[in-house]
Structure 1
Amino acid sequence: MMANLFSSFDPSTNMNLSLNWLSTILFFLFIPSMFWLIPSRMNMLWIKIIMTLHNEFKILLGNTNIKGSTLMFISLFSIILFNNFLGLFPYIFTSTSHLTLTLSLALPLWLSFMIYGWINNTIHMFAHLVPQGTPPILMPFMVCIETISNMIRPGTLAIRLSANMIAGHLLMTLLGNTGSMLSIYLINILIIVQLALLTLELAVSIIQSYVFAVLATLYSSEVN
């Protein structure tokens, strides 16, 4: 019996071993088959998505001298997208709904960008703290505001992803638990609403993985 509604998101609730985190690497079962089978429509669609992301990230980075610079962000998009999709299947743990995973993705990225920027482009990083055209009297306040906004970036990245994943799953769980108390007519309406929510969650899964990867790309382009 669950102690509360949020305990359904706790990997230690259902069993003594935290085997639920194995869902994070389930996408390794699907990706390799694409490289050994005859290219299908799904494979061509995935290649098209990757090439589109590559061209977009290359524009955002603005530095084409480094070969393969977009590979890290495409891989980041892929792992978040697969985990978001797998979390929509019954009895598969949604690892991206936990700050443990999302912070593990956002914090090392942000920290590496900051270390690289402050070591190699110190003047450029100082210039980012004061937006162009700021009056001299407001410069100390702008430095404080820009510093705080820079410090909370990994937190906002992580919380945005996990909160969006939790919100949709929580709403579907709340509506699903009311099914046993409804009449046959209301159950039909409930099923339609649940299907609509599932479609919305599919869209949210794509959008949130894209937003995470794009924001990480933008943060990296600021340190060059």
Structure 2
Amino acid sequence: MMTNLFSIFDPTSSVFSLSLNWISSLLSIFILPYNFWLIPSRYNMLWIKLSQFIYKEFKILINKNAWGSGIMFTSMFMFIMINNFMGLFPYIFTSTSHMSFNLTLSLPLWISLMIFGWFKFYNNMFAHMIPMNTPFILMPFMVIVESISNIIRPLTLAVRLTANMIAGHLLITLISSTASPSMNIILISMILTAQMLLLVLESTVAIIQAYVFSILSTLYSSEIK
């Protein structure tokens, strides 16, 4: 029972012999999002800036009615790039150098785009089969060519990524296998220099191939409209 109407504002009052009146001030801190009271690290800031830059690049190519898919392609770019970089470390499995992994990424995406396009925009899908200003005689032939090129798209995406990741790793392995303790110090220095240059090149290829895979997927999705 309250002895005074203003006793609820008394900070010295307690419940169960515990002074819990000031806890309400701490609860507001936990309710606020982390961005308001936690400073992001340089790693998080770099990751956010990179994600925003890639998203802006993809948003230009995506249909205005499907801007939400830019998040999906940005996540795909990040996922492939991380896996490509992980393969550059010693004794780590390179998952993107295997067709089974790359087909798992490209085939479901292509199938979902085709199902959505043929059920939603079947007139435009038929129109893409014949390029503009195609002679009437070549129309049946162009339909066959466009159908084949459309069917092999997921395979070309997977093969391109697999081949580029395998080629660089094999070249580094072949150069390192030629080195031996009995070799001249000059030759060993040349081999180490070549390996470091190839490692820098492979780091660039890891980013480029992730970008190519994602940008081609974005272009394929932009055709469905």
TM bracket (short chain):
0.7 to 0.9
Partner residue of 2:137? 137
Question: Hey, what does 2:46 align to over in structure 1?
Answer: 45
Unpaired segments ≥5 residues, structure 1: 1-35
What's the counterpart of residue 62 of structure 1? Answer: 63
Partner residue of 2:215? 214
Return 203-212 or 137-146, whichever deviates more.
137-146
Deviation per CA, 1:148-179: give whole Å up to 9, x if none. Answer: 10010000000000110000000000000011
CA distance in 2, matches of 1:168, 1:123: 43
Classify the secondary structure of the residue corresponding to 1:131. coil
Structure 1 letter corresponding to 2:121: N
* Aligned twin of 1:17: none
Distance, in Å, in 2 between the alignment partners of 1:191 and 1:79 is 30
1:77-108 deviation digits (Å, cap 9, x = unpaired): 01100000010000000000000100000000
What amino acid sits opposite 1:206 in the alignment? I
Residues 151-170 of structure 1 correspond to what in structure 2 (within 5 A)? 151-170=151-170
- The corresponding residue for 1:73 is 73
Superposition CA RMSD, Å? 1.5
CA distance in 2, matches of 1:156, 1:37: 44
Question: What is the TM-score of this pair, normalised by structure 1?
Answer: 0.81
Q: Per the alignment, in what secondary structure is the counterpart of residue 179 of structure 1?
A: coil
Distance 1:54 1:164, change over 3 A: same
Q: Report sequence identity in percent.
A: 60
Residue 75 of structure 1, CA deviation: 0.8
Partner Cα separation in structure 2 for residue 81 and residue 66 of structure 1: 24
CA distance in 2, matches of 1:136, 1:48: 50
| 3-state DSSP of counterpart to 1:154 | helix
How far did 1:37 drift? Answer: 7.3
Q: Distance in 1 between matches of 2:183 and 2:105?
A: 42
TM-score if structure 2 supplies the norm length? 0.80
For 2:123 and 2:86, the matched residues in 1 are separated by 44
Query: Which structure shows the bigger proportion of residues in helix conformation?
Result: 1
| Structure ID, larger Rg | 2
2:178 aligned partner: 178
Given the superposition, is the C-alpha separation of residues 202 and 70 from structure 1 closer, same or farther in structure 2, using an over 3 Å criterion?
Answer: same
Deviations 1:173-210 (A, max 9, x none): 00000111632110000000000000000000000000
